[in-house]
Amino acid sequence: MADPKKENLTSRVRTLLMHAWRERWSDVQWGIQLKRLMSAYNGETCDLAEIILQQAMTGSSPNFLLLSYLKHTVLSQIIPCSAVFQYIAGFDDVSRPYCVLALVHLAEVFATKLSFSYGPDSLLQLCDSLLAVMNSLLGLVLKCLSNVRDERPEVVQVMESASKAATAMLKRPTVTALLQVARADNADAYREYEQTEVNLRGTLSKLAPGTIPDTTRENISAMLALAAELPDVQVPGEPVLDTSHLPVSPTINALVALEAVLNPNSDVQPFVDQVLMLVRLMKIGRPQLFLEMFRACFMGLVDANNSSEELKWATFTFLKMRQIMTKIQQLSPGPDFSSEVECGIELLLQYHHLLDQADIKQRWDCLSQFLKECVQANIISETQMNSLKQKRQTQREQLRAADLATSPTSSAGLIARAETTVVSILKTLDADHQKNQDPLVGVLSQMLSGRSFEIITSAAASMGELKNFTSKLIRSNEFARQTTGEAGKAAQTRAQLFDITFLMLCHIIQLHGMEIVAGDKAASESFIIQWAQRWLPEDNKYRSVDTTAVPGDQSKVDNLLLQLLSGGDLRTNLQRWHEVCLNTPFAVQEVLFAWEHKALSFDKVKAVLDNIKRCMGCLSVVTCVWLCSYMNVVGLKAREKPLAMLEHLTRVKVEQTTSTESRSHLMNMVMERIMNDVLPGNHPMRSSSHVYVPVVELPIVTLQRTLTEAFQRGWLGLKCIHTLEQLLALCGSDWFCEKVVMQMLEGSKSEELTQALSLVLAIFHMDLEHLTYSLLMTLMPRLLLSTVHTHVLTDPHGFTLAKLCVLCITGTQTSKIGQKEPYIRRSRKRSRIDAEMEDLDDSEGRPGKMRKVHESHTPLTLNLEGFNFDDFASKEDGESSPNFDAKDPMNKALINMFCLMNAIIQDPALTPRTTFIVDFIEEAIKCGGQYSHFILQFMPPKMLPQLMKAVPGIFTNAQVLQICDLSTVTGRKSAAKAICSNAVAMDKAAAN
């Protein structure tokens, strides 16, 4: 049964309406009397729009006075315009064309002057009713086109009026934005609208010329063109980082350098993921990308000439780059990939002085070699190669004859031939050597001559075969450590095989870390890997020494000690070489302690060391490792005697067999790396070739000098890369992040800041994940809360900092999606963030609920206590909580930062901090797609209204649609409210 009070209100409204019509009240008088009547009923409502429209549309022609009352009622916000839209959408009686024309005009007026109405639910009702009106207008035109043969002039008039009204509505940014909200809120209604548009387009195309006036057809076509553009309402595609004005793209150039120098063994997938992400955010064309990558390779070949990194650059340029190009083609194929590559190489040919320098320093035709590798990988065709080679040959003719000479020892030439050698060696290692190991020992011995082993390992690393090569060496070492009762030459061959593979594996682990055998269960259980994990220094950190440890079999240690003291050769038959390696440290310890207690003379100690080195190279390495580890834990005075033993072990010249001599070079390289960090700073044997951070200089001074040179130059040189790497390892990510970012912000011009930002972004890729956490969790809260550093938040510094934050977040998230830790770094201090991350991993379950985040102005910490994901975002009844990973540090860092920014904007005063917050959100929006969604999903729901209240119109409608999550009711309501707020701001601006 209906409410009698409501029926009475409806009756009174109808009576008042008739009274107003009879006395011809003005709009203002009608509004006054209506409000007086409504207030007398204590907020009770009735279907006021329907009452007025029913009375206005009773005849064949509308009552314009009543329609003026309705217009005044809506614009006075007594009733929402959504109620009128719903009635208009439901009116389709074409037999009363003048009523239809009046309603179409009414819809156009209301749609172009939208404003808020009471109640939060009216926002989404407004969007849905607006979509219904648009569908109704298109439906009216479609129905009229179907009845166009009636030859009534009113039909054409309705078509023109409806098409013009729809066109006017679609030209309004507010309307198109609200239709996007309606599309997300009511997918079925939007599909119906799209179907009406398709039917109308098809009917119009089939209509014979002259059936309707040309102007009418043009109006309908213009309306359909605007309707087709509706799904493409997007933020203009501006680059997050624009380096087009710079002579070199610092980010791409430096990323290539870091990949070549620091990650020679890494898979190309993470690198390609980062490059493609940057290409999208920087809006770089494919030919320009290929130019930057190829140019970086040739710059590296020139920069690394006659250095220890020369082979890394050669293998990267001629072997790994083609893998990168192939992966790019697989992940992001273009319409004509080979033509894009060809165009990139043609752009490279413009830098002929760089190509000339590469050819002269490498003593090789580097570009021709590079083109051959591209053809071999089917990246370009032979025709394209010949054309490019001809152009390069014309340039080379300008060089002197001496500069055109090639050398068989050139790194470029050696690497070009090393690929087939690696394949051949892998086949040899796969062969069955159970009966005769002589061929295998012969091949491995040849690898130790000159630079052969270094070239082969570099080529294997760039080919992605180093892990396979290492596993096969481990298998050979495991075979050689077991005796089968052989004697004579067979026993000596087995000893040589164990020694060679031991030294090779030590060298590979020193260069590439234990990660080279990660995931290989058989390799991790082998003797050499277990020994390396226990004893071999890693990241300049020595292992602990237990001088009270007891050997497994004391008699074997005593026997070994007697053989060393007697000066005789170790018996190779029935010898388990892994046991000798394990017992040697105990024997050396006995010798050292006996010397310290004056039971042995130094001459006798030297004789023991001579015997160790005479026997096998692996025993010298084992002795060197133990002495260094022992020196690392004892006092300065106690180091004298082990240091003397170490000096003699590395300097001694003993008579060696030919097989032993071939291993001495590799053994010395391994021992030099082991003992370098334990030697005193002024020791003559201490090598400074790998030390880039001076001991006598503060790290901050070294960092500032290095960054100043890099920022001025615009790219990272070899020395700069290693200096930054060692500074990061020495001082940790928090210190490194703060100092690098603050120096980046010292520039005053936009061009300087852009170049510095591009380089810093690449530098952060040395340890992207941890440096990003340091940026978000440590540095940014400090800058946002400090009153001293406000100048760094002022533009252009502020938006530069915002760009860095957004780019680092996006890069970190990209690396997580593709593969964890694409840029593996072992030499890094354990920071506070690491400890907190481990605490997160150890925590179980979620903590008790606390008050909502958006109600608190206190910034969060990384600790889970006092934090709850369920309370983070407002949600409607029936909506599920956001699906966040509570243990992901990136989620925690972003929420912490957004909550801090949300607390800042509560301050009514506009400060540089407010500008930075807006810059951060705008840069996140520029990322687009999944990147912007990942960042902005953590934005508190009340943050957008507060920002738009503080700075009206700060975000465009397209930006609002990117900020709000339209898949949730809360997000759609926030978007609709912000869009209407923008409409009010635009109306005020137009009025002024």
Q: CA-CA distance, 285 to 315, in Å (whole number)?
A: 26
DSSP 602-648: HHHHHHHHHHHHHH-HHHHHHHHHHHHHHHHHS-TGGGHHHHHHHHH
Using alpha carbons, select from 625, 480, 467, 464 the residue that is nearest to residue 542: 625
pLDDT at position 695, please? 80
Half-sphere exposure of 937 (CA within 13 A, CB side): 18
Q: Centre a 10 Å sphere on the Cβ of residue 543 and count the other Cβ atoms it contains.
A: 17
Q: How many CB atoms lie within 10 A of CB 42?
A: 7
CB atoms within 10 A of CB 785: 13
Please give the full DSSP string across 107-124, using - where no structure is assigned: HHHHHTS----SSTHHHH
Q: What is the largest CA-CA distance in the chain?
A: 132
| Nearest partner of 806 among 871, 894, 698, judged by Cα | 894
Cα dist from 587 to 132, 562, 604, 612, whole Å: 91, 9, 14, 11
pLDDT score recorded for residue 832: 45
The helix/strand/coil state of 986 is: helix
What pLDDT, on a 0 to 100 scale, did the predictor assign at position 1? Answer: 40
What pLDDT sits at residue 114?
A: 59
Report the alpha-carbon distance of residue 551 to residue 562 in Å, rounded.
16
| Angstrom distance (rounded) from CA 547 to CA 944 | 65
Q: How many CB atoms lie within 10 A of CB 949?
A: 12
Give the closest residue to 860 by CA, choosing from 946, 851, 884.
Answer: 851
Q: What is the pLDDT of residue 879?
A: 57
Q: Which two tokens mark 293?
A: 């990558």
SS3 541: strand
pLDDT at residue 864 in the model: 39
The pair of structure tokens assigned to 413 is 């030439």
Mean pLDDT, consecutive 10-residue stretches, the chain (992 aa), reads: 56 84 86 81 73 83 86 81 84 82 87 58 82 91 80 81 91 89 91 91 85 87 88 75 92 96 89 94 93 96 90 94 94 88 96 94 93 94 95 90 83 88 90 78 86 90 90 90 72 88 92 81 88 87 83 86 79 76 92 91 90 87 93 89 90 56 82 85 72 87 95 93 93 95 92 94 95 95 89 90 96 78 41 48 40 38 42 53 72 91 88 92 90 90 88 88 88 88 76 62
- Read off φ and ψ for residue 541, nearest 5 degrees: -120, 125
Neighbours of 818 (CB within 10 A): 18
Tell me how far apart the alpha carbons of residues 822 and 820 are, in angstroms, rounded to a whole number: 6
Stretch (H or E) spanning 313: helix 310-315
Amino acid in position 183: R
DSSP string, 11-50: HHHHHHHHHHHHHT--HHHHHHHHHHHHHTTTT----HHH
Contacts of 770 (CB under 8 A, 6+ apart): 733, 828, 831, 833, 834
Helices (H), 350-451: 352-362, 366-376, 382-396, 411-430, 438-447
The token pair at 951 is: 């700075």
Our measurement of the distance from residue 807's CA atom to the centroid of its chain's CA atoms, rounded to an integer in Å, reads 7
Q: Which residues contact 271 (CB under 8 A, 6 or more apart)?
A: 255, 259, 263, 324, 822
pTM of the model: 0.86
How far apart CA 921 and CA 932 sit, in angstroms, is 9
- Report the alpha-carbon distance of residue 494 to residue 476 in Å, rounded: 10
Matching residue, tokens 């022609």: 61
Task: Report the alpha-carbon distance of residue 426 to residue 465 in Å, rounded.
Answer: 9
Q: Which residues of 429-465 are buried (b: 16+ CB within 10 A; e: fewer)?
A: beeebeeebeebbeebbebbeeeebbbbbbbbbbbeb
CA 79 to chain centre: 50
Question: What pLDDT was estimated at residue 804?
Answer: 96
Task: Please report the pLDDT score of residue 872 as a whole number.
Answer: 53
The token duo for 645 is 């033993």
684 CB burial (10 A radius; 0-12, 13-18, 19+): exposed
